[in-house]
Amino acid sequence: MEKERITAEELLKRYAAGERDFQNIILEYADLSGVELQKIDITGAQFNYVNLSGLNLHRCELSSAQFWYCNFREAKITSSHLEYARFFDCDLRGFNSSRCDISSVNFTRVNLQGAKLGGFGEDPCNYWDIIRQDGVFIPGFTSNPYRSSHK
C-alpha cells in the first residue's frame, strides 16, 4: 500500500469529520501536542519530527507505526495496540502506555525517564542505547534493561 503524506491540520479535519482510518500515512514536522484521539488507526504510519507531547490516545491501532525524532513527553496511550511499533530518537519522558499490547516494540536511542510502560504482550520489547525510567543509560541491545549486567 502506498503511503499518503498529510498535514496535522488535514488529519484533525478528517478526524473531526468522522474518519478514523489513517493507515500508512506520513506526517512530518507537525504539532499534535495535547490532542485527544480515540479509535484512530495509524497502522504502518510514519511520523517524523512530530510534537506529540501531552497527546492522549485511547483504543487506537498503532501496530507497525514508526516514530522518528518525535516528542512524546507526558503523552498517554491507553488500551491500544502498539505491536511492532518503532520509536527512534524519541523523547518519551513521562510517557504512559497503560493497558496496551506492547509486543515486540522497538525503542532505539530513546529517553524513557519517568515513563510508565505498562501493558502486556507475548514477545518482549527490544531496547538499543536507551535512557531507562530511572535515568540510567543502557548501551547496546537488550530485551531487559533492568538485567543486573547493566549496572
Report the CATH number that the domain containing residue 67 is assigned in CATH.
2.160.20.80
For residue 149, being part of any structural domain is answered with: no
For residue 46, being part of any structural domain is answered with: yes
Give the residue numbers spanning the domain of 62: 4-143
Residues 6+ apart with CB under 8 A from 72: 52, 53, 55, 87, 90, 91, 92, 95
SS3 149: helix
Nearest to 142 by CA among 114, 116, 120, 112: 112
pLDDT value for 121: 85
| Residue-level pLDDT, tens digit, the chain, 151 residues | 789 999 999 999 999 999 999 999 999 999 999 999 999 999 999 999 999 999 999 999 999 999 999 999 999 999 999 999 999 999 999 999 999 999 999 999 999 999 998 888 888 999 999 999 999 999 999 999 987 554 4
Cell of 54: 501531552
For residue 151, being part of any structural domain is answered with: no
Nearest to 130 by CA among 143, 148, 149, 116: 143
pLDDT value for 148: 54
